[in-house]
Each structure stands twice: as C-alpha cells, then as structure tokens.
C-alpha cells in the first residue's frame, strides 16, 4: 500500500476541519475529502451556530463550557494572521424559560454551578425588561395550527427563566469551517474537494483508505468519518454498524427567519431564547431578523431522510407553524408572506448525543450524530478526537479502558466513553435538538 496520508478525514464541516487542525498540530499528515466544493458548505452552512452552555447532563455541560472559550479566543486559537477574515462570535447571552418540561432547569443550574459556569435566575419582570416585545402567557403543550387549542393560552404564566450571559452565536458558520481549514493547512493538512467517497478500503482486518466515486484510491492507516448527514451511509460502507447500540440518521429541519417587530432592535438588544413552553428557540439574525427553530416537541413530526443528497429543500407547513407559534410569544410579530430561512439536514443520533469513538474496524473512527447541538463544541471535539485516535493507535483498547480527556480551560476531566457507539441510550437526554 502506498501511503497517501497518516489519516484521511471524511468531511470538512466545522467538526471535520477541527479534527484536521488538531491532528495536524500533533504532526499527523492529514488529508480531508469532501464532495462539496468548499469547506463548510454541507450541513455546517445551515447551522444556527449557537454557542450555549445549558445541558441536562454534567458531561454535556462541561464539554460546552470548555468549548465556549475557543470561540471567545477564536483568532488566538487559530493562530490566524492579522489580515484573515474570521467568523465572529457575538456574546449576547442565552435566556432559557423555566417550565415543567425542563424541570424548572434545576439540573442545568446544578451542572453550571458545579462547573463554575456563570448563570443568573430571572423573574418575569427581568424577562420583560430584556424583551419588552414578549408576552409571558403559557401555551404548553406545543401544538400545530390544526389543533383546536392552537394559539389559546392555558391560563398559566412563565414565571421565570435562567440567563447564561456567556452564550452567543457565530455569524458565519461556513466561514468558521474555512478558518479551521486554513489553520490546519498552515500545519501541513491537505484537502481534496469535490471528492465523493464510494468505498472504505480494508486489508488485513483494518481500514486502509477510501475509494472515490471516480475510482481513485487514497490510502491511509486511519480513516475518520465526520461526514455529517452522510455518516450513517459511510459507517455502512465500512461495515461497522453491527456492534453499535447508538445509530445516526439524517433528519430534515426547517429554520424560520422573520423580521423583528417594529420599534425593537432584536439584533442589537435581543438574546438567544430557549422556550420549551412553545417548543421553539430563537436568536438574533443579520438585518434585525429573528431566527426561529423547533425544539422538536411531539407535535412536530420528525422527517427522516434516507438519501442525504435527495430531499425536499422547499419550505413546508412547518415553517408557518414555527412562525405562528413564535407569534404567540411575540404578539406584535409580523409574519411575511414570503418564507425565508434555511432547509437543511441534521445528523442526529438515537439519543441526540454524538458518537465520538473508534469502531469495530481497526483504524476507522467516527465523529457522528453531531448536528443541531454540537457546533459549539467543534474545537474541543476536534481536540478530543485527535487524542482518541492517538490513544487507540498506540495500542490502547478504548472500549474496555476508555480514554480520560482533560478539558484544559476549565480544568476538568471527562470520560470519553460517555460518547461511545456502544453506550446505553442516555435517559437524561432531551431527545431533541437541545441534546
């Protein structure tokens, strides 16, 4: 076998390019391949790019709190030249409504308190002061517009919320992937764009590279699947599905863009809001718009996609449902007749917690099931995957003795077995985009 690289990375989204950067910094000769023409032009480009810290699990919170610091220090982390155009992190904070459905955020606050992640408890008056356009009637449970009770308050009120002041969003997620790719290239990483993987090459019981759709073979002793919504198909190519208790699937999602109500500058004065009462999240969007996404309540049916290249890219009734549900919270919201926003795919795992792991095929690794709630973790996920590959390739058995990984900013250690492909389904998960 002629070695093309030390590691081939399938995918140049934000996590794939972070893996390339971190491995290249360790001295690995990496080759990233992607069917798209430019890094970040897959599902990363459609990401809402929210950087938040609130999770119902301790490990999820620790990982997200660690990840925040890389976005805060983005140029320093990348060691970027002064003239490079960089994605911008807007630290606007994140307000999460307390509801029965999220346990009044008790777990979330305990996790943040234990990790030293700042948060504030707000009452209804503080919510109204920050967001005067908001009405705090309760509408739970979330409904679709054909439900007779749609738009009717249930008689309750939102009594409070928790505000995480360090949260925010990244203005251009595709550019963030390109920033990471450029940083990796400065350390010797190579990239092949418009290159579609058709086969995972194997010999002697381990991965040996990939064959492209045009028949070209690229060889390496390590192959890492970071293919986003195509991850399940790539795992099937490698024949590694049999021992996985956690699987991944491509899920179609719609995100709404609506103009902010007249007289309120949501882009400058708004914040990220997670509102499980109406089962929506939102954040400021360029041009004084508001981006609105679903938090996957039972009434919003999941639309799983078998072919990640052939799916409906047009807006559906889901766009209108999300806009109208948000209008319950913001009565002065104007809903345009022309739908605007994003239709894209998520790579979602069984319990919406990602797989960062080796596989049953030696030399084949995966960073899968990451869409919807892992964008924020890309830098630390890349660092952890690089450590995991090095750990396993040194002869360690991650299945029996999982890697312990240090989170350098917050001084904590996580058991990477938490993200195992063979883990039990995590009952603490929200089983939604919230992770």
Tell me the average confidence (pLDDT) per consecutive run of 10 residues in the chain, 435 residues long: 86 98 98 97 93 90 96 98 98 98 95 97 98 98 95 97 98 97 98 97 98 97 97 98 96 96 97 97 97 95 92 96 97 93 94 95 97 89 98 98 97 95 83 62
Q: Which residues pair with 282 in a beta bridge?
A: 273, 292
Residues 237 and 356 occupy one common structural domain: yes
Domain interval for residue 317: 90-168+251-344
CATH number at residue 234: 3.50.50.60
Residue 430 included in any domain: no
Residues 162 and 200 occupy one common structural domain: no
Residue 23 included in any domain: yes
Q: Tell me what pLDDT residue 160 has.
A: 98
Rounded CA gap, 418 and 274, in Å? 25
Q: Tell me what pLDDT residue 265 has.
A: 98
Rounded CA gap, 191 and 389, in Å? 19
Residues 76 and 188 occupy one common structural domain: yes
State how beta strands 160-164 and 120-123 pair. Answer: antiparallel
CATH number at residue 112: 3.30.9.10
Measured from the Cβ of residue 13, the count of other Cβ atoms closer than 10 Å reads 33
Residue 243 included in any domain: yes
Residue 293 included in any domain: yes
Location of structure tokens 């908001």? 134
Rounded CA gap, 64 and 60, in Å? 6
Residues 179 and 290 occupy one common structural domain: no
Q: Give every CB contact of residue 29 below 8 A, 6+ residues apart in sequence.
A: 5, 6, 7, 188, 190
Residues 40 and 180 occupy one common structural domain: yes
Which pair of tokens denotes residue 71?
Answer: 């976005």
Residue 432 included in any domain: no
Q: Does residue 285 contact residue 360 with C-beta atoms inside 8 Å? A: no
Q: Is the peptide bond before 423 cis (omega within 30 degrees of 0)?
A: no
Q: Which region, left, alpha or beta, applies to residue 48 given φ > 0 means left and ψ of -120 to 50 means alpha?
A: alpha
Q: Is the peptide bond before 141 cis (omega within 30 degrees of 0)?
A: yes
Residue 71 included in any domain: yes
In the chain, how many domains are there?
2
Q: What are the strands, taking DSSP E only, across 61-219?
A: 89-90, 94-97, 120-123, 160-164, 168-170, 190-193, 197-203, 206-212, 217-219
Residues 155 and 179 occupy one common structural domain: no
Residues 96 and 200 occupy one common structural domain: no
Query: Which of 344, 361, 396 is the last residue before a domain boundary?
Result: 344
Residues 316 and 355 occupy one common structural domain: no
Query: Which of 300, 316, 344 is the last residue before a domain boundary?
Result: 344
Rounded CA gap, 336 and 302, in Å? 25
Q: Tell me what pLDDT residue 431 has.
A: 63
Q: Tell me what pLDDT residue 427 has.
A: 76
Residues 331 and 410 occupy one common structural domain: no
Q: What is the DSSP letter of 397?
A: -
Rounded CA gap, 387 and 181, in Å? 19
Q: Tell me what pLDDT residue 56 has.
A: 85
Residues 51 and 163 occupy one common structural domain: no
Q: Tell me what pLDDT residue 260 has.
A: 97
Residue 69 included in any domain: yes
Cα–Cα nearest to 19, from 181, 179, 173, 207: 181
Residue 424 included in any domain: no
Query: Which of 344, 366, 394 is the last residue before a domain boundary?
Result: 344
Location of structure tokens 């983005």? 74
Residues 383 and 258 occupy one common structural domain: no
Length of the chain, in residues: 435
What value, to the nearest 5°, has the Cα angle with vertex 426 and ends 303 and 46?
Answer: 40
Residues 164 and 262 occupy one common structural domain: yes
State how beta strands 412-415 and 404-407 pair. Answer: antiparallel
């Amino acid at each position: 076998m002629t070695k093309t690289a030390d590691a081939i990375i399938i995918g140049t989204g934000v996590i794939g390019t972070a893996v390339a950067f971190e491995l290249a910094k360790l001295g690995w000769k990496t080759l990233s391949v992607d069917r798209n023409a430019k890094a970040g032009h897959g599902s990363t480009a459609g990401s809402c790019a929210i950087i938040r810290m609130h999770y119902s699990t301790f490990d999820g919170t620790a990982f997200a709190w660690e990840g925040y610091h890389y976005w805060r220090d983005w140029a320093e982390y990348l060691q970027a030249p002064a003239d490079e155009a960089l994605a911008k992190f807007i630290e606007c904070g994140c307000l999460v409504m307390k509801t029965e459905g999220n346990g009044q955020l008790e777990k979330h606050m305990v996790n943040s308190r234990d990790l030293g992640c700042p948060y504030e408890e707000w009452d209804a008056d503080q919510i109204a002061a920050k967001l005067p356009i908001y009405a705090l009637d309760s509408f739970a449970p979330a409904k679709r517009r054909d439900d007779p009770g749609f738009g009717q308050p249930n008689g309750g009120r939102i009594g409070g919320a928790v505000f995480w002041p360090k949260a925010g969003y990244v203005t251009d997620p595709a550019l963030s992937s390109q920033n990471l790719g450029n940083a990796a290239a400065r350390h010797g990483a190579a990239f092949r764009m418009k290159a579609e993987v058709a086969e995972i090459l194997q010999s002697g019981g381990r991965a040996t590279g990939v064959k492209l759709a045009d028949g070209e073979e690229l060889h390496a002793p390590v192959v890492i699947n970071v293919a986003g919504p195509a991850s399940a198909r790539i795992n099937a190519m490698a024949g590694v599905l049999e021992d996985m208790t956690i699987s991944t699937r491509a899920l179609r999602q719609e995100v709404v863009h609506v103009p902010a109500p007249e007289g309120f500058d949501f882009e400058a004065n708004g914040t990220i809001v997670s509102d499980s009462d109406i089962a929506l999240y939102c954040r400021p969007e360029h041009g004084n718009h508001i981006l609105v996404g679903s938090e996957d309540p039972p009434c919003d049916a999941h639309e799983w996609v078998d072919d990640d290249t052939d799916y409906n890219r047009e807006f559906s009734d889901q766009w209108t449902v999300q806009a109208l549900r948000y209008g319950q919270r913001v009565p002065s919201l104007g809903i345009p007749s022309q739908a605007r926003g994003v239709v894209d795919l998520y790579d979602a795992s069984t319990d919406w917690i990602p797989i960062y792991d080796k596989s049953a095929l030696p030399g084949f690794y995966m960073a899968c099931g990451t869409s919807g709630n892992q964008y924020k973790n890309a830098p630390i996920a890349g660092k952890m995957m690089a450590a995991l590959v090095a750990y396993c390739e040194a002869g360690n058995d991650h299945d029996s003795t999982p890697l312990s990984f240090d989170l350098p900013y917050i001084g904590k250690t996580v058991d990477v077995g938490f993200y195992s492909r063979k883990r039990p389904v995590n009952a603490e998960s929200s089983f939604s985009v919230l992770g």
